[in-house]
Chain A
Amino acid sequence: MSYATTIDHVHNADHPTGWRRWVLSTNHKDIGTMYIIFGAFGALFGSTLSLLIRLQLAHPHGTLLSGGEFQIYNIVITAHGLLMIFFFVMPVLIGGFGNWFVPLMIGAPDMAFPRLNNISFWLLIPSLVLLTLSIVVGSGAGTGWTFYPPLSSIGHPDAAVDFMLVSLHLAGASSILGAINFITTIFNMRAPGMTMHKAPLFVWGILVTAFLLLLAVPVLAGAITMLLTDRGFGTSFFEPAGGGDPLLFQHLFWFFGHPEVYIMILPAFGVISQVISTFARKPVFGYLGMAYAMVSIGVIGFVVWAHHMFTVGMDVNANAYFTAATLIIAVPTGIKIFSWIATMWGGSLTFETPMLYAIGFIILFVIGGVTGVTLANGGVDISLHDTYFVVAHFHYVLSMGALFGIFAGFYYWFPKMTGKMIPEWMGNIHFWITFVGVNLIFFPMHFLGLAGMPRRIPDYPDAYSGWNYIASLGALLTFAGAIYFALIVYYGFKWGKKAPSNPWGPGATTLEWTLPSPPPFHTFETQPHVS
């Protein structure tokens, strides 16, 4: 029926209204918007859980999450990790910004497979429902986001973990379909004249991310399936009593898991490149080096996974190999950092909110990167693995890296997406609150980790209370910043001044700034030509 309708109204029925516009959407901008709203919801959910964690840990003897002998605590940390990764960072950066701006930046009318795009998004809804169920069903899934067996098999007999695993299956399917869509779009739908070597770096970031997803997520799917059959059908892939091996799971998980961490950061790299070039009013320095640094990070990212497993008792030569391979990743990462600074060098810098976030990103990502280099050394990692030092490391690259990338992108593209401006001073205040807040939370965690505090514990020896208290204060501040952010966005929608097609001046050279703000429902119906 809808097919016939489409034929009938070939000139104007392609702008559906009401619920059809969203539920049946095949429009990359609408789908991008839905991803961003969905991601905002995931962020709210996930950060509320993180606040609970920090309240539990604010003082020794915490009892807030002590239900079920602290099973509640374990559920909360598990759900926090999964929500932030699969329901906040990935939907916003890839589904949200990717959908909105990849077609616009390459001058394509839409994604290559608009209906696939629709199903990619809608798969996430049941996925989130299942994850939520895994929190409340039975005694809940308290396995950590890495859900290592046997804790996730014999250690969690009721259905909660099954819900969690099926949830990840759906999220994974969504990601794979999205990845296929992005790869096809980027390879085939660039406007005439836009060679790959002219594509904006954000497009490169999404392209490399899509390849990582396409190659890594199926491995996760395999591991999840094996775990599900271990749990429900009496196989024993990971069950030593039946000849299986718990470490096999860890290898499979991290073969996915390490690329996954780059999946979360490469799109942010892309955003930061666009923002810095815009506000430095200069083209990106060393464009080709930047693009191929991302490609090599993607490639090397597949051969370093066991740096998460230095304590499991692998052969020493394997540990040495994974040390070396992991150290090598720091080289392309360094190239990116120096190229960003070189882009700013000689520029004509202004410090609008997106630029503040981009500069904050650089310095904080460097801190997270160097602690990564520390952890890369198999010998040193023995002392730091599964301590708060690791928590500090990955939050510097995620809670400051990926999150700052998201905020930079949000403030940068908000005028384009909504046609409204957010007053600069409001965004500036938000930046400073967030910057101070996250550093207060995560910097002391380095000290806790060095002093030996294990991660994932609901209460700690009293000696660790000082830094934990500081971290919890930081969490309160950050959370206040998040509420303030929601108010800013509301203000922007309601009272924001009308945005011109290019609010950022001559530095904003990518194609989306040639369109009105907000862009019409369909864009580039006739192909633009890029010189």
Chain B
Amino acid sequence: MRGLQTIDSFLQDFSGLLCAHNACPRESEELPVPRLKAGAKDCKDPKGPKQSRKRLHLFLTLIFSFVPYLAHADHPKPWQMYYQDPVTPVMDHLYDFHTLLLCIEGTIVLIVGALLIYVIIRFRASKNAAPSKVAHNTLLEVIWTAIPVLILVFIAFPSFKLLYMMDVTPKADLTIKAIGNQWYWTYEYPDHNIRFDSNIVPEDQLKSGQFRLLEVDNRVIVPTHTNIRIITTSSDVLHSWAVPAFGVKRDSVPGRLNETWFHVKKEGVYYGQCSELCGVKHGFMPIVVEAVTKAQFEQWLVSKKNPAQTPSGG
């Protein structure tokens, strides 16, 4: 692990992409936190999916071992090949389920590829001058209809579970409204009378360690270990509010209020980008969520109400 981290930080220095001070929580810093299950009640689940995810992580890390970035990412890393590091229960499940899909589908591709290679070698004209005339085999046809059906049924169950888990917002402790505008986001905390705009930081104003095209002047500040309801809408055209590490993407549609939720388990800064074409600066309206402890969040709320002592990032 240490070795990986060394390469990791070397490559980041190399590409001029130093982590922001709080942007890269390492796996080892991970806190044991209660996980949220589909029923949306807090419950402790010390091994279960978490362990299996770790194992899959390991599996994938081995496969792509020349890519040292798989283990922990809340912003994209150079040559990244897989998801960013999940930090919400929903993204945990999504990650596991996608990895399951990847294994099933990878196997299918390999089987088809192997069959093709076998057929190409075994039945080339030089090896098999007289073609067979067989053009039916009912049993075979039933089998290659039935097996895919079984595989799909097998996929469908965890798929629905994930879908419904995402949909049901557990009792939310905080509501944030994200309003898409051409081309920035406006955030409202209706319970706290807070409202601010969040604009991209132009390249010439980036501080060292900040990410070009991903950084904003005013981040969304949220407490960790809290169920947060996010309501999206738009003041002009369609936009989409997305944070990959949360497994959240919700279109912001004028005239509609869309709702989704997340529950961040780790403090950190999480980056996303508008994900629905919205005009010329569609690529320039990033989303940054900074997850802090509940105490820090309370402080931030106070400072927001009393702007004299605004700390950075707020």
In the complex, which residues of chain B have a beta carbon less than 8 angstroms from the beta carbon of A60? 212
Q: How far is the CA of A371 from the CA of B78 in the complex (A)?
A: 23
Query: Are A319 and B113 in contact, with the CB atoms below 8 A?
Result: no
Distance to closest chain B CB from A404 (angstroms): 14
In the complex, which residues of chain B have a beta carbon less than 8 angstroms from the beta carbon of A324? 156
Question: B87 an interface residue at 8 Å Cβ cutoff?
Answer: no
Query: Are B75 and A380 in contact, with the CB atoms below 8 A?
Result: no
Question: A347 an interface residue at 8 Å Cβ cutoff?
Answer: yes
Per-position binary interface string of chain A over residues 373-402, scored 1 when its CB falls under 8 Å from any chain B CB and 0 otherwise = 110011110110111000000000000000
Most buried by B among A74, A142, A155, A247: A155
Stretch at the interface among A35-43, A169-177, A461-469: A461-469
Distance to closest chain A CB from B14 (angstroms): 12
Query: Are B244 and A377 in contact, with the CB atoms below 8 A?
Result: no
Question: B47 an interface residue at 8 Å Cβ cutoff?
Answer: no
Query: Are B213 and A461 in contact, with the CB atoms below 8 A?
Result: yes
- Contact residues, A342-375 vs B (CB, 8 A): 342, 344-351, 359, 362-363, 366-367, 370-371, 373-374
In the complex, which residues of chain B have a beta carbon less than 8 angstroms from the beta carbon of A285? 134-137
In the complex, which residues of chain A have a beta carbon less than 8 angstroms from the beta carbon of B40? none
- CB contact under 8 A between A71 and B101, given known A338-B144, A462-B15: no
Question: B84 an interface residue at 8 Å Cβ cutoff?
Answer: yes
Query: Are B156 and A466 in contact, with the CB atoms below 8 A?
Result: no
Q: How far is the CA of A282 from the CA of B137 in the complex (A)?
A: 14
Query: Are B135 and A286 in contact, with the CB atoms below 8 A?
Result: yes
Q: How far is the CA of A37 from the CA of B259 in the complex (A)?
A: 50
Distance to closest chain B CB from A294 (angstroms): 15
Stretch at the interface among B48-56, B279-287, B301-309: B279-287
Q: Nearest residue in A to B168 (C-beta to C-beta)?
A: A316
Query: Are B105 and A346 in contact, with the CB atoms below 8 A?
Result: no
Q: How far is the CA of A350 from the CA of B105 in the complex (A)?
A: 29
Q: How far is the CA of A462 from the CA of B212 in the complex (A)?
A: 7
Q: Which of B123, B236, B258 contacts A155 (CB 8 A)?
A: B236
- Contact residues, A34-87 vs B (CB, 8 A): 60, 68-71, 74
Stretch at the interface among A102-110, A146-154, A187-195, A471-479: A146-154
Question: A232 an interface residue at 8 Å Cβ cutoff?
Answer: no
Query: Are A330 and B249 in contact, with the CB atoms below 8 A?
Result: no
Distance to closest chain A CB from B191 (angstroms): 22
- Contact residues, A116-155 vs B (CB, 8 A): 142-144, 148-151, 154-155
Per-position binary interface string of chain B over residues 34-57, scored 1 when its CB falls under 8 Å from any chain A CB and 0 otherwise = 000000000000000000000000
- CB contact under 8 A between A366 and B108, given known A312-B253, A320-B160, A327-B155: yes
Query: Are B238 and A457 in contact, with the CB atoms below 8 A?
Result: no
Q: How far is the CA of A342 from the CA of B140 in the complex (A)?
A: 10
In the complex, which residues of chain A have a beta carbon less than 8 angstroms from the beta carbon of B80? 447, 450-451, 463
Distance to closest chain B CB from A388 (angstroms): 11
Question: B115 an interface residue at 8 Å Cβ cutoff?
Answer: yes
Question: A331 an interface residue at 8 Å Cβ cutoff?
Answer: yes
Q: Which of B101, B112, B155, B281 contacts A70 (CB 8 A)?
A: B281
- CB contact under 8 A between A331 and B149, given known A366-B109, A459-B283: yes
Query: Are A330 and B116 in contact, with the CB atoms below 8 A?
Result: no
Stretch at the interface among A219-227, A238-246, A514-522: A238-246
Query: Are A379 and B97 in contact, with the CB atoms below 8 A?
Result: yes
In the complex, which residues of chain B have a beta carbon less than 8 angstroms from the beta carbon of A246? 238, 253-255
Question: B94 an interface residue at 8 Å Cβ cutoff?
Answer: yes
Query: Are B237 and A386 in contact, with the CB atoms below 8 A?
Result: no
Q: Which of B76, B159, B259, B282 contacts A453 (CB 8 A)?
A: B76
Q: How far is the CA of A374 from the CA of B99 in the complex (A)?
A: 10
Q: Nearest residue in A to B257 (C-beta to C-beta)?
A: A313
Q: How far is the CA of A348 from the CA of B253 in the complex (A)?
A: 57
Per-position binary interface string of chain A over residues 449-461, scored 1 when its CB falls under 8 Å from any chain B CB and 0 otherwise = 0111110111111
Question: A16 an interface residue at 8 Å Cβ cutoff?
Answer: no
- Chain A: number of interface residues, binned into ranges: 35 or more
Query: Are A74 and B277 in contact, with the CB atoms below 8 A?
Result: yes
- Contact residues, B234-293 vs A (CB, 8 A): 236-238, 240, 242, 244, 247-251, 253-256, 258-259, 271-284
In the complex, which residues of chain A have a beta carbon less than 8 angstroms from the beta carbon of B128? 346-349
- CB contact under 8 A between A370 and B109, given known A312-B253, A346-B134, A383-B247: yes
Question: B30 an interface residue at 8 Å Cβ cutoff?
Answer: no
- CB contact under 8 A between A331 and B213, given known A348-B131, A349-B125, A452-B84: no
Question: B119 an interface residue at 8 Å Cβ cutoff?
Answer: yes
Question: A283 an interface residue at 8 Å Cβ cutoff?
Answer: yes
Q: Nearest residue in A to B64 (C-beta to C-beta)?
A: A447
In the complex, which residues of chain B have a beta carbon less than 8 angstroms from the beta carbon of A312? 251, 253, 258
Distance to closest chain B CB from A426 (angstroms): 21
Q: Which of A280, A363, A507 contacts B116 (CB 8 A)?
A: A363
Query: Are A344 and B119 in contact, with the CB atoms below 8 A?
Result: yes
Distance to closest chain B CB from A5 (angstroms): 50
Question: A341 an interface residue at 8 Å Cβ cutoff?
Answer: yes
- Contact residues, A203-247 vs B (CB, 8 A): 240-241, 245-247
Question: B211 an interface residue at 8 Å Cβ cutoff?
Answer: yes
- CB contact under 8 A between A452 and B272, given known A142-B279, A374-B98, A377-B159: yes
Q: How far is the CA of A464 from the CA of B81 in the complex (A)?
A: 10
Question: B214 an interface residue at 8 Å Cβ cutoff?
Answer: yes
Q: Nearest residue in A to B247 (C-beta to C-beta)?
A: A383
In the complex, which residues of chain B have a beta carbon less than 8 angstroms from the beta carbon of A351? 120, 124
- CB contact under 8 A between A463 and B156, given known A246-B255, A331-B149, A366-B112: no
Q: How far is the CA of A324 from the CA of B163 in the complex (A)?
A: 12
In the complex, which residues of chain B have a beta carbon less than 8 angstroms from the beta carbon of A335? 141, 144-145
Distance to closest chain A CB from B114 (angstroms): 10
Question: A433 an interface residue at 8 Å Cβ cutoff?
Answer: no
Question: A499 an interface residue at 8 Å Cβ cutoff?
Answer: no
Query: Are B78 and A465 in contact, with the CB atoms below 8 A?
Result: yes
Question: B72 an interface residue at 8 Å Cβ cutoff?
Answer: no
In the complex, which residues of chain B have a beta carbon less than 8 angstroms from the beta carbon of A349? 119-120, 123-125, 128
Q: Which of A69, A283, A328, A378 contacts B159 (CB 8 A)?
A: A378
- CB contact under 8 A between A347 and B276, given known A383-B98, A452-B76: no
- 9 A-B pairs with CB atoms under 8 Å apart are A311-B250, A331-B148, A335-B144, A348-B128, A363-B113, A366-B112, A377-B163, A453-B76, A457-B283
| 17 further contact pairs, Cβ within 8 A, besides A246-B238, A366-B112 | A150-B238, A154-B236, A241-B255, A245-B255, A282-B134, A311-B275, A319-B167, A323-B156, A341-B112, A347-B119, A373-B105, A373-B152, A379-B94, A383-B83, A386-B240, A451-B82, A451-B84
- Report the 8 A-B pairs with minimum CB-CB distance, sorted nearest first: A240-B255, A457-B283, A379-B162, A346-B132, A370-B105, A313-B258, A452-B244, A316-B167
Binding site for A on B (CB under 8 A): 15-17, 73, 75-84, 91, 93-94, 97-98, 101-102, 105, 108-109, 112-113, 115-116, 119-120, 123-125, 128-137, 140-141, 144-145, 148-149, 152, 155-156, 159-160, 162-167, 182, 211-214, 236-238, 240, 242, 244, 247-251, 253-256, 258-259, 271-284
